[in-house]
């Protein structure tokens, strides 16, 4: 068989290089922008009266409306059926869990800084492993548990030793940290269940990604709208964005970049695989933390720097270790890749918003 010519190799390299630049640029731009907007909306006051936006469920509602519309359009454009593949109650179960996940995520920003929240998300491998064992009967290897321990240790150090001047606009002191940790714990637990149950649905039904997106987000729209009306927050939210047009712009942009990011995530995984995607996402988290520290003036204590080094050092170390040649494993093996666990939130963005 003839070997590929040097010119064809060069063309292939250039093609992959431009594809890589496109994928990395798209993910970084959309998801870093998403992170900055998320913190701006929840922690920075609007207007001369310095009003804070407090209606996190309204953000969930707006995000899900746009995602639902885009997924429905994708199904119609591809001439695929809009009929539900699984029982509606299963879509609703994912939807409820996802709403609780996103609400805890937004509410936590009232009590902890974005860098703390972003680094804490890396610890989601623990609940994912727990739910995976309970729901999917999966087994994990020793290195998986070691990485989970190191990441959790680094996150704990980062959360428990904040710089003294990094205070929440909503409350101060230790109560601030306790509420923030409780909300992040809720986020991690609900998110772990959401992604694991989604995985179970994909394995149990012949289901398109956009089919699950559409019905899950449609249920989320109905549930979040109901919650807003019952709590009397719908009118308050609309009045707030009416008074502060810049807040309306921020929310619209937040929903837009969250939806656009789905394209780049899907493109990256299809083109380069989950391992490259995991490395990009780890870098994105690091860039988001650094940008937040600079943009919103979050000081970091020396203990937090140590915690961050432990977390990202463990994640990068695992990513590069996975690139080494591995022995072929049995197709029936039920062990799960740690890289996929670490980045479970981001890979599941194919199904839901960040």
Q: What pLDDT shows up at residue 320?
A: 67
Contact residues for 25 (Cβ-Cβ < 8 A; gap 6+): none
- The answer to whether residue 309 is domain-embedded is yes
Beta bridge partners of 51: 46
Contact residues for 154 (Cβ-Cβ < 8 A; gap 6+): 119, 122, 306, 307, 308, 309, 310, 311, 314
Residue numbers of the domain that contains 345 = 26-350
Q: How far apart are CA 124 and CA 75, in angstroms?
A: 31
Q: Pull the structure tokens for residue 233.
A: 């927050």
Per-residue pLDDT in tens (0 to 9) along the chain, 354 residues = 455 566 666 767 677 778 888 888 888 888 888 888 988 898 889 988 889 998 989 998 999 899 888 888 888 888 776 788 888 888 899 889 888 988 888 888 778 777 777 777 767 667 777 777 777 677 777 777 777 777 777 777 776 666 655 545 545 544 456 787 788 888 888 887 887 787 778 778 877 777 878 888 889 899 999 999 999 999 999 999 999 999 999 999 999 998 888 778 767 766 776 556 666 766 677 777 777 777 766 677 777 788 778 877 877 776 666 655 544 444 444 444 444 444 444 444 444 445
Q: Are the C-beta atoms of 128 and 192 separated by less than 8 Å?
A: yes
Q: What pLDDT shows up at residue 177?
A: 65
- The answer to whether residue 270 is domain-embedded is yes
Q: How far apart are CA 142 and CA 338, in angstroms?
A: 11
Q: What pLDDT shows up at residue 336?
A: 42
> Tokens 């989950």 appear where?
274
Q: What pLDDT shows up at residue 325?
A: 52
Q: How far apart are CA 299 and CA 287, in angstroms?
A: 15
Q: What pLDDT shows up at residue 102?
A: 84
Which of 56, 74, 23 has its CA nearest to residue 233?
Answer: 56
- The answer to whether residue 230 is domain-embedded is yes
Q: What SS3 class is residue 182?
A: helix
- The answer to whether residue 3 is domain-embedded is no
Q: Are the C-beta atoms of 68 and 214 separated by less than 8 Å?
A: yes
| Residue 162 DSSP code | -
Q: How far apart are CA 116 and CA 184, in angstroms?
A: 10
Q: What pLDDT shows up at residue 344?
A: 45
Q: Which helix (H) or strand (E) holds 26?
A: helix 6-43
Q: What pLDDT shows up at residue 330?
A: 45
Q: Count CA atoms within 13 Å of residue 94 on its CB side.
A: 26
- The answer to whether residue 7 is domain-embedded is no
Contact residues for 10 (Cβ-Cβ < 8 A; gap 6+): none
Q: Are the C-beta atoms of 58 and 233 separated by less than 8 Å?
A: yes
- The answer to whether residue 196 is domain-embedded is yes
Q: What pLDDT shows up at residue 352?
A: 45
Q: What SS3 class is residue 345?
A: helix
Q: What pLDDT shows up at residue 164?
A: 57
- The answer to whether residue 70 is domain-embedded is yes
The b/e string for 178-187 (b: 16+ C-beta within 10 A; e otherwise) is ebbbebbebb
Number of domains into which the chain is organized? 1
- The answer to whether residue 245 is domain-embedded is yes
Q: Which helix (H) or strand (E) holds 31?
A: helix 6-43
Q: pTM for the whole thing?
A: 0.66
């Amino acid at each position: 068989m003839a070997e590929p010519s040097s010119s064809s190799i060069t063309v292939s390299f250039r093609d992959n290089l431009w594809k890589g630049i496109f994928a990395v640029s798209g993910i970084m731009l959309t998801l870093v922008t998403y992170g900055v907007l998320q913190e701006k909306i929840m922690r920075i006051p609007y207007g001369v009266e310095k009003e804070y936006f407090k209606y996190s469920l309204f953000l969930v509602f707006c995000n899900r409306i746009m995602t639902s519309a885009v997924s429905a359009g994708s199904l119609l454009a591809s001439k695929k059926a809009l009929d539900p593949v699984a029982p509606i109650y299963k879509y609703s179960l994912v939807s409820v869990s996802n709403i609780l996940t996103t609400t805890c995520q937004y509410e936590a920003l009232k009590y902890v800084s974005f860098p703390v929240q972003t680094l804490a998300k890396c610890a989601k491998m623990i609940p994912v492993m727990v739910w995976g064992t309970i729901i999917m009967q999966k087994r994990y290897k020793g290195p998986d548990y070691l990485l989970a321990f190191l990441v959790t240790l680094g996150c704990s150090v980062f959360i428990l030793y904040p710089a003294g001047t990094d205070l929440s606009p909503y409350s101060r002191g230790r109560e601030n940290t306790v509420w923030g940790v409780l909300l992040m714990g809720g986020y991690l637990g609900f998110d772990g269940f959401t992604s694991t149950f989604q995985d179970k649905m994909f394995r149990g039904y012949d289901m398109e990604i956009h089919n699950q997106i559409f019905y899950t987000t449609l249920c989320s729209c109905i549930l979040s709208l109901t919650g807003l009306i019952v709590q009397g927050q719908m009118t308050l939210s609309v009045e707030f964005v009416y008074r502060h047009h810049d807040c309306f712009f921020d929310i619209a942009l937040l929903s837009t970049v969250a939806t656009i990011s789905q394209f780049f995530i899907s493109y990256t995984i299809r083109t380069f695989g989950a391992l490259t995607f995991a490395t990009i996402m780890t870098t994105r988290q690091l860039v988001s933390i650094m940008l937040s520290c600079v943009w919103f003036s979050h000081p970091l204590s020396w203990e937090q720097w140590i915690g961050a080094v432990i977390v990202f050092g463990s994640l990068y170390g695992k990513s590069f270790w996975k690139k080494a040649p591995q022995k072929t494993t049995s197709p029936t093996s039920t062990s799960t890749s740690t890289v996929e666990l670490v980045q479970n939130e981001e890979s599941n963005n194919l199904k839901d918003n960040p």
